[in-house]
Amino acid sequence: MKKNKRSTYKQDQKNKQKYYTKLDVFLSRMASILKVPTGIAKGLFSERTVTTIRLNNLVQIPDKTVDQLEALGAVLEKVQWLEDTYIVMNMDKSDLAVTQMYKQGFFYIQNLSSMIPAAILSPKAGETVLDLCAAPGSKTTQMASMMNNKGKIVANDADRARVGKLIQVLEMFNVKNTEARFGAGEGIGKREEGHYDKILLDAPCSGEGLIYLKGEKPLRFWNIKKIKPMANIQKKLIESAFRALKRGGTLVYSTCTLEPEENEGVVTHLLSTFKDAEIEEVELFSSEAFKDEAKHVKRGIMEWNEYRYFPHVSKTYRIIPSGKMMAFYIAKIIKK
């Protein structure tokens, strides 16, 4: 006996409900990690962040750069918790990137979240610093600026083409204290064990922080299958970084993803591998200057699906995407 068209239609509709789009999977994961409804998660990734710049004291005095930018018509709002950093209220990245001031290295266009890891590491003049995955150079130039071109930075990257671009950026922003290197970061810990005062590991990741859902094909680079391979690479990199760190030194681990496997899971791996690794609180996030942004920051989570993480990951932090900052994860680690 043939099924009538109506019953066939109902069966087809029922079957369709079993399929999930890439967007469904992404929003479901983000909602679960952040413990919010999927509608809220979608809204968080649908906000375009403000344009922010970091003034480069290696080219000229920042106050003079402010005057020159305002003369060009830029409306600037100072970020109180980051030195020489401003929100540009009336221009976007494309407007600023074509100015002669940018091309001459007077300022760097950089998201606020991306500036935080180097600010937390707080490199000083005279120290020896490793930027393990440095290209394209945003955080390297920031640290050189903080060090006033004194001391030494080794800026390493595993992609030869990206190292070429890194060198161009260093020249553009008048960085003099940095050696750009090409090579796999996983081997540095064995070759240069206990060599560096401070290390920044802004690790390659699944990149959820870069996703803007109102953009064109926003999930074209995101794939749930990337997460596990990325976490494996990150674990090797963080081991290498910690081995290269001096006793009493500081390592800042950061990613632009919210995935626990790539964040708390990687930090838990480090803590279980090295008994002299210790997580330290990030004072910035509890400071008076940061109070208006504190609502966009959450502490590390203790468990995810079937995984349980070390309790100390509660001292790590996840920046929630907002109109000011893209998603980021940050952990400050000390070698006892």
Domains of the chain as residue ranges with CATH: 112-335 (3.40.50.150)
pLDDT value at position 16?
Answer: 54
Q: What is the mean pLDDT of residues 112-116?
A: 97
Q: Which tens digits make up the pLDDT trace of 269-311?
A: 999 999 999 999 999 999 999 999 999 999 999 999 888 999 9
Q: Which residues are marked as active site?
A: 256
pLDDT above 50 (res 1): no
Neighbours of 7 (CB within 10 A): 10
pTM: 0.93
- Looking at residue 68, its pLDDT comes to 97
Mean pLDDT for 62-89 is 97
Please spell the DSSP secondary structure of 122-174, one letter per residue.
Answer: ---TT-EEEETT-TT-HHHHHHHHHTTT-SEEEEEES-HHHHHHHHHHHHHTT
Q: What is the pLDDT of residue 305?
A: 86
**What pLDDT shows up at residue 248?**
98
Helices (H), the chain: 5-16, 22-34, 38-44, 62-71, 93-97, 100-103, 112-121, 138-146, 160-172, 188-191, 227-244, 264-273
- The pLDDT tens digits of the residues spanning 228-264 come to 999 999 999 999 999 999 999 999 999 999 999 999 9
- In contact, 316 and 30? CB cutoff 8 Å: no
Cα atoms found within 13 Å of the Cα of residue 48, Cβ hemisphere only: 6
- Give the best-scoring range by mean pLDDT among 16-20, 58-62, 207-211: 58-62
What is the overall mean pLDDT for the chain? 94
